[in-house]
């Protein structure tokens, strides 16, 4: 059975897909991947780093002023799923 390898957008290390958290930015909202559309991956060690919100802003082509909104959305995703 194939085990796909994906890259964390923060640390740029490669991991098996099952070890990463898959997120997407759709309709101006950061959320868990819903099955369709563009997505990106975070590893468990990078999800709490301050650099994570910068990387997500860059991937989603957002201004740095949205960084606080991204931090809040990440915290909400990791608490409630």
What would the mean pLDDT of 65-81 be, rounded to a whole number? 84
pLDDT of residue 69: 86
* Average pLDDT, integer, range 35-48: 90
Percentage of the chain surpassing pLDDT 70? 98
Query: In sequence order, which residues have a C-beta less than 8 Å from that of residue 58 and are 6 or more positions away?
Result: none
Domain residues for 54? 5-80
Distance CA 42, CA 12 (A): 9
The count of structural domains within the chain is: 1
Q: Indicate which CATH number applies to the domain containing 69.
A: 3.30.1230
């Amino acid at each position: 059975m194939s085990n796909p390898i994906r890259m964390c957008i923060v640390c740029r290390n490669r991991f098996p897909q099952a070890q990463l958290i898959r997120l997407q930015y759709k309709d101006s909202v950061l959320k868990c991947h819903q099955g369709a559309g563009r997505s990106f991956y975070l590893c468990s060690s990078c999800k709490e780093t301050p650099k994570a919100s910068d990387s997500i802003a860059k991937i989603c082509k957002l201004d740095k002023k949205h960084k606080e909104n991204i931090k809040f959305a990440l915290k909400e995703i990791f608490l409630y799923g």
